[in-house]
Homo-oligomer: A and B are copies of this chain.
Amino acid sequence: MKDFAADPAFEAASVPVVEWPLCHVRLQNDARYCWLILLPRVDAAVELSDLDPAQRAGLMEEIVRAGEVVTTMAAAEGCPVDKINTAALGNVTSQLHVHVVGRRRDDPLWPDPVWGRPGAISCAPDQLQARKEIIVRR
């Protein structure tokens, strides 16, 4: 684990926030969505099968924790989540990572997935800070 580093490609659209027991936790910088990215700190992992079963169970629990965070975050902004979208894709950046995204029936892309679509709106500094604090508190 000591050699773990997030792929620099994640820096374009997300910021690092905190380390959970298994995952490096990032916040997607998009005001439209409460959206976390979890990167297991396991060298060279690309597929879920590259984790061992204990790591996979730990990842699942951190996915649920991330879902609680995005739910809290969205509620704090007055926009409660209708559905959580969770996905491990990796077609563009292969390093294993899991997206956990709060979705609303009135969001710009509903019911389509959010990935591979343009239109991100960077958070204002105070919004980004407020979101980061919610993650750190959980």
- A interface, CB within 8 angstroms of B: 46-49, 53, 56-57, 59-61, 63-64, 67-68, 83-92, 94, 103, 110-113, 115-116
Contacts and interface: CB of A to CB of B under 8 A. Distances in A.
20 contacts: A46-B83, A47-B67, A47-B84, A48-B67, A48-B84, A53-B61, A56-B61, A83-B89, A83-B90, A83-B94, A85-B87, A86-B87, A87-B88, A89-B113, A91-B111, A91-B112, A92-B111, A112-B115, A112-B116, A113-B115
Copies of chain A in the complex: 2
Q: A interface, by DSSP: helix, strand, loop or mixed? A: mixed
Given A85-B87, A89-B85, A110-B91, A60 B56 contact: yes
A127 B108 CA distance: 38
List 6 A-B pairs, minimum CB-CB distance, nearest first. A91-B111, A87-B87, A112-B116, A57-B57, A113-B113, A86-B88
Contacts of A86: 48, 87-89
B48 A60 contact: yes
